[in-house]
Amino acid sequence: MAETYRKSEQVPASEEVLDMGSGVIRMQLPIHMPGLRHVNMYGLLDDRGLAIIDVGVPGPSTWKAVKKRLKDAGFKVSDVHTVIVTHSHPDHFGCAGRLVTEANAQLVTHNNFHLFWNSDTPRCNHGDTDMAHDDSLPETNPFMSPSPWGGDHMRRPPAPLHRRIMFRAMRSGLLGSYKVPEPARRVRNGDVIRLAGRDMFAMHTPGHTLDHLCVHDPEGGFVFTGDHLLPHITPYISGLAGGTNPLLDYFASLERTAELSDVKQALPAHGVVIDDVPGRAKEIIEHHHERFERLRKGSTETGKAMTVRELSTFLFRPEKLGAMADGEAYAHLEFLRLAGRAESRRENGKLLYEVHS
């Protein structure tokens, strides 16, 4: 019996090269991450060859799949002239460094692109966007420090052994085939990127990450959304690495995306094409507002200040609880606190919150 999948992001990678029209093709790369089984690698064709958007996780199996998909589409590695990475997560930048090196291509990222193990994390520059306020990243890498709410370190519980080995090798340079992605061009909101023989535009869309980049293609009617806008799952919003109010930034980014009147389809990094871009953006915003209500109701009914972990139980099933769940709960609680809808205090080294109407 054929396996069925509830969400399109969970479907294993297809070997088919799909023509999206207007000089754009979609090639899928296999991954095995929670809730995700593929990355959509887009090719944008022109008279010089093609540009690539997102290149899957690091490793020889992904690199083999990249070369196979290019060959099936009628191209060689050397035909790639530009590689665009939408944001600094390994399933998007993984093979970018190697592809850029072997193709002698240009790597394009947002101005704030950084690798999570870097200690010299660049500061946010929200002057590049139409965000509602001005945030900055912490002075130190938040994933290398104790959490601000006094819970588990963000690296606990440990990642699976194979993933820990891979990341350690990436950081140390021991993974011979792995090349650190070093951007040749860091774009800002509104910058023109010439792709598929026409002008496209960089969109800084912080929320999922502070360096998240979408590419707006008004002539083709597309917006390439990375993990900013996905068809069936809501992107993870961390309270640590996304500035002081990542959900506020995310809502503003979603609203800007929804207002692109010349866009007919969103092409995400996982899952199927999104035909109703404003509708999907609205669904995601409503999802987070429903979570605000669950936190308010749980806090009110409990009648006492609670830790981030305790409040996260109102948002996540028991098997989902942990450092990542705490990080997203913290993002929601800080949004409410900064909006005057929650109060916090610290007791015995732990951050406690009370949520009100």
pLDDT of residue 138: 42
pLDDT of residue 168: 53
CA atoms in the 13 A half-sphere facing the CB of 128: 22
**136/189 same-domain check:** yes
What CATH number is attached to the domain comprising 320? 1.10.10.580
pLDDT of residue 5: 64
Q: Please give the single-letter amino acid code of residue 27.
A: M
pLDDT of residue 130: 43
Q: Are 65 and 28 in contact (CB under 8 A)?
A: no
- Is 181 a member of any domain? yes
pLDDT of residue 119: 46
End-to-end CA distance of the chain: 49
Cα(287)–Cα(285) distance, rounded to whole angstroms? 5
**199/227 same-domain check:** yes
pLDDT of residue 145: 61
Q: Are 297 and 311 in contact (CB under 8 A)?
A: no
pLDDT of residue 158: 41
**39-89 per-position pLDDT tens digit:** 999 999 999 999 999 999 999 999 999 999 999 999 999 999 999 999 999
- Determine the Cα angle at 196 with ends 194 and 201, to 5°: 40
pLDDT of residue 4: 56
Q: What is the mean pLDDT of residues 110-118?
A: 80
- Give the model's confidence band at 242: pLDDT under 50 very low, under 70 low, under 90 confident, else very high: low
Q: What is the mean pLDDT of residues 132-157?
A: 52
Predicted TM-score (pTM) of the model is 0.88
Q: What is the mean pLDDT of residues 339-356?
A: 92
- Residue at a domain's end among 277, 306, 322: 277
Cα(82)–Cα(67) distance, rounded to whole angstroms? 15
Beta strand 80-84 pairing with 49-53: parallel
Q: Is the pLDDT of residue 21 over 90?
A: yes
- Is 308 a member of any domain? yes
Q: What is the mean pLDDT of the chain?
A: 86
Residues 6+ apart with CB under 8 A from 308: 147, 149, 151, 326, 329, 330, 333, 351, 353
pLDDT of residue 151: 56
Q: Is the pLDDT of residue 293 over 80?
A: yes
- Residue at a domain's end among 224, 253, 277: 277
Q: What is the mean pLDDT of residues 136-154?
A: 56
Q: What is the mean pLDDT of residues 137-151?
A: 59
Cα(214)–Cα(281) distance, rounded to whole angstroms? 14
Q: Is the pLDDT of residue 280 over 80?
A: yes
pLDDT of residue 219: 97
Q: Are 59 and 91 in contact (CB under 8 A)?
A: no
User: In the chain, what percentage of residues exceed pLDDT 90?
Assistant: 73
**322/199 same-domain check:** no
**294/272 same-domain check:** no
Under DSSP, is residue 96 helix (H, G, I), strand (E, B) or coil?
Answer: helix
What CATH number is attached to the domain comprising 177? 3.60.15.10
**161-205 per-position pLDDT tens digit:** 344 444 555 554 445 567 889 999 999 999 999 999 999 999 999
**265/342 same-domain check:** no
Q: Phi and psi (nearest 5°) for 116?
A: -65, -20
3-state helix, strand, coil in the chain (%, to 5): 30, 25, 45
pLDDT of residue 150: 79
**136/40 same-domain check:** yes
pLDDT of residue 35: 86
pLDDT of residue 48: 96
**62/200 same-domain check:** yes
Q: What is the largest CA-CA distance in the chain?
A: 65
Tokens of 291: 């979570």
Domain span at residue 337 reads 288-355
- Residue at a domain's end among 242, 277, 312: 277
Q: Are 204 and 212 in contact (CB under 8 A)?
A: yes
Q: Are 275 and 267 in contact (CB under 8 A)?
A: no
Q: Is the pLDDT of residue 117 over 80?
A: no
**220/94 same-domain check:** yes
**307/265 same-domain check:** no
Q: Is the pLDDT of residue 9 over 90?
A: yes
Q: Are 228 and 214 in contact (CB under 8 A)?
A: yes
Helices then strands, counting H and E runs in the chain, come out as 8, 15
pLDDT of residue 316: 93
Handedness of CA 296, 299, 305, 308 (dihedral sign): negative
User: In the chain, what percentage of residues exceed pLDDT 70?
Assistant: 82
Q: What is the mean pLDDT of residues 347-356?
A: 91
